[in-house]
Chains A and B, each alone.
Chain A
C-alpha cells in the first residue's frame, strides 16, 4: 500500500457548543483496508465519523477523500463520491418498508437494472430482509434493523463504508452474523472504517486500528499488534 490514502484526516478538531470533543487527530485509510477505531465512551468515535460525513462541521483540520478536500462538504454530496455510513443506532426509516429503505440506499443511482441486481445481492446477504421486504422497518427487531442499515448502505455501491457500532444491542448470534457480512464486504474490496465497543471482535476483523482517548489518537498500529498490546488489553478488552 504505497498509493496515496483514500481518506486522509489531518488535524481534525470538532466542538459541540464550545466543548471540544475531537482535539486534533490525524489518520488515514488506504483503499481496500479495514480500519478499526476503538475508544471508551465519549472518546469521540461517533463524532469523528460525523465530521467525515459532514454531519458536524469541524472547527479545525482537513479531510481529504481520494485526494479531494471534503472538509465541511454536505453529506449528500459525499455520497456521490463513494461514501456511505451505517449510523450509530442504525437510523432506518421506520415508516418506510424494508424495500423502500433499501431503495433509498440507491437514491443517487439511475441504473435501474443494476439497482435491481444489487437489491438481489443485499437480499441474498440477508435472507431475513427478503422475508420482511414489505414490512415497515420500524417494526423490525434490533438485529434486523442493523442488517437493513448495512444492506441499505451497500446499495450506493460505496467505496468507503463507515460503520458505527454495528454490534450494539445485538444478540450474540446476530453479532456473529453481522461481522461475517462485514468481512465479506471487505473481501469484495470495499474500504471500511469500523467503530466498535466490542474491541476484541473489531480487532480480529480489521487490518489496522486506532485508539481514541478523550478526543486524541493515542495508539495506532496493526490490529493484531493492538490485540496483544497490554495497555489495550487492560483498557478495552477487560483484562
Chain B
C-alpha cells in the first residue's frame, strides 16, 4: 500500500538544510534580474510577465485545482483589477490614488465579481460550469469594450492610457534608479515588487491548502454530495474559492495596469483565460509549485523560441526555411501536446492527482 506523505515533510526533515536551501534560492532570485539584464532587459520584462502569470495561475489554481471548479473566464478578474487601477490612477477620471490603496480596492472589487460569478453557477458542474464562466469572462470584456457610451466609463476599445506607474515612497517604478552604484531599471524594480507579491501569494496558497478550508475544497472536488453530507456548506465554500481566486486576479491586474501604463479590453480575451488554465493544468493542478512552474514555463517557452528559432534555422540552413513565428507557434502547440501526453497529470502533479491517474480503470463499474 502506498503511503502518502505531505510534501512539507520532505522539507522539514532537516531544518538547517532547509534554511540553507531557502537562503540560496533567495539569493538566486534576488540576483536573477541582474543576470537576465546581461542578456537583455527584455528578459527581465519576460520574467515580470511570468510572475504576473504565476500570480494569475495561483489564483485560478484555487478555483480549478483546489475546489475543482472549471473556470474559463478567469481573465475577467484580471481585467477588473486592471480597470480598477486604471480608473483610479490615470487622467481618465483625473484620479490619482496611491498604489497601495488601489491594490486592495482592486482585489476587493474582483472578489465581488468572483462572488457575482459564483452565485448563479453553484449548481453547475464540469463542462456546464466551464461554459458559464467563459460567458462571464466575455460579458465582462464586452462591457469594458462598450461602457463608453452613453456615459464614458471605460473609454471603450480605445483603452485607458497614461496610467500612473507604481510609486512607493517617492520611488517611481517606471524609471531607472540607482542603489549605491547599481543601476536598477524600471523592469527590475517591478521584478522585486512582483516577487514579493508572489511570495506572499504562495504563502497564502500553501496555508490555505493545508487548512480546514483547503480540506473542504478538496472534499467538494472529490465528491460534492458526500461533502455536503459531511456538513460542508458547499455554497459558501465554493463562493469562497471564487472570491479568493478572483482577488489574486484583481491584484495581478492592478500591477499589470501599472506596468503597462495602458490597458484596453483586447488584453482580456478568452485566449488569455485559456492560457492561464493551461499553465495550471500543465504545471500540475493543485500543486502550488507545479502551477508556478507551469506559468514560468509557458511564459518563457514562446520567448525562448522567439530568440532561437531564427538563429537555429540560419545556422542549419543558412536562411529561414519556414517563417520563425510559424515554427514558434507550432512548437508551442506541440509542446503542450507532448507534455500532456507524457505527463497527463501535469509536470509536477499534486499527490492527489497522481493517485487519480493511478486509477487506471477509471470507468470500470464499481
**A residues in contact (CB < 8 Å) with B:** 16-17, 19, 50, 55-56, 87-91
Q: Which segment, of B81-89, B238-246, B358-366, faces chain A? A: B358-366
Given contacts A16-B360, A56-B360, A90-B365, 18 further A-B contacts (CB under 8 A): A16-B358, A17-B2, A17-B358, A17-B360, A19-B1, A19-B2, A50-B361, A50-B364, A55-B361, A55-B364, A56-B361, A87-B364, A87-B365, A88-B365, A88-B366, A89-B365, A89-B366, A91-B365
Question: How many interface contacts (CB-CB < 8 Å) are there between A and B?
Answer: 21
Q: In the bound complex, what is the Cα–Cα distance between A17 and B362 (angstroms)?
A: 13
Q: In the bound complex, what is the Cα–Cα distance between A91 and B365 (angstroms)?
A: 6
- The size class of the interface chain B forms with chain A is under 10
Q: In the bound complex, what is the Cα–Cα distance between A39 and B358 (angstroms)?
A: 25
Q: In the bound complex, what is the Cα–Cα distance between A56 and B361 (angstroms)?
A: 8
Q: In the bound complex, what is the Cα–Cα distance between A50 and B365 (angstroms)?
A: 11
Q: In the bound complex, what is the Cα–Cα distance between A176 and B358 (angstroms)?
A: 38
In the complex, what residues of A have CB within 8 A of residue B365's CB?
Answer: 87-91
Nearest chain B residue, comparing its CB with the CB of A90: B365
In the complex, what residues of A have CB within 8 A of residue B361's CB?
Answer: 50, 55-56
In the complex, what residues of B have CB within 8 A of residue A19's CB?
Answer: 1-2
Q: In the bound complex, what is the Cα–Cα distance between A19 and B364 (angstroms)?
A: 18
Q: B328-366 toward A: CB 8 Å interface, digit per residue (1/0)? A: 000000000000000000000000000000101100111
Nearest Cβ on chain A to B174's Cβ, whole angstroms: 53
Nearest chain A residue, comparing its CB with the CB of B357: A17
Nearest chain A residue, comparing its CB with the CB of B364: A55
CB-defined A-B contacts under 8 Å, sample of 13: A16-B358, A17-B2, A19-B2, A50-B361, A50-B364, A55-B361, A55-B364, A56-B360, A87-B364, A87-B365, A88-B366, A89-B366, A91-B365
Nearest Cβ on chain A to B192's Cβ, whole angstroms: 44
Q: In the bound complex, what is the Cα–Cα distance between A87 and B366 (angstroms)?
A: 9
In the complex, what residues of B have CB within 8 A of residue A88's CB?
Answer: 365-366
Nearest Cβ on chain B to A74's Cβ, whole angstroms: 14
Q: In the bound complex, what is the Cα–Cα distance between A1 and B360 (angstroms)?
A: 39
Q: In the bound complex, what is the Cα–Cα distance between A91 and B366 (angstroms)?
A: 8
In the complex, what residues of A have CB within 8 A of residue B366's CB?
Answer: 88-89
In the complex, what residues of A have CB within 8 A of residue B2's CB?
Answer: 17, 19
Nearest Cβ on chain B to A43's Cβ, whole angstroms: 15
Residue among A16, A17, A89, A91 with most chain B CB within 10 A: A17
* 5 shortest interchain CB distances as A-B pairs: A89-B366, A89-B365, A91-B365, A17-B358, A87-B365
Nearest Cβ on chain A to B344's Cβ, whole angstroms: 14
Q: B1-40 toward A: CB 8 Å interface, digit per residue (1/0)? A: 1100000000000000000000000000000000000000
In the complex, what residues of B have CB within 8 A of residue A90's CB?
Answer: 365
Q: In the bound complex, what is the Cα–Cα distance between A88 and B358 (angstroms)?
A: 20
Q: In the bound complex, what is the Cα–Cα distance between A50 and B358 (angstroms)?
A: 17
Nearest Cβ on chain A to B355's Cβ, whole angstroms: 9
Q: In the bound complex, what is the Cα–Cα distance between A126 and B360 (angstroms)?
A: 35
Nearest chain A residue, comparing its CB with the CB of B358: A17
Nearest Cβ on chain B to A237's Cβ, whole angstroms: 24
Q: In the bound complex, what is the Cα–Cα distance between A16 and B2 (angstroms)?
A: 11
| Chain B, range 225-279, C-beta contacts under 8 Å to A | none
In the complex, what residues of B have CB within 8 A of residue A89's CB?
Answer: 365-366
Nearest chain B residue, comparing its CB with the CB of A149: B365
Nearest Cβ on chain A to B239's Cβ, whole angstroms: 32
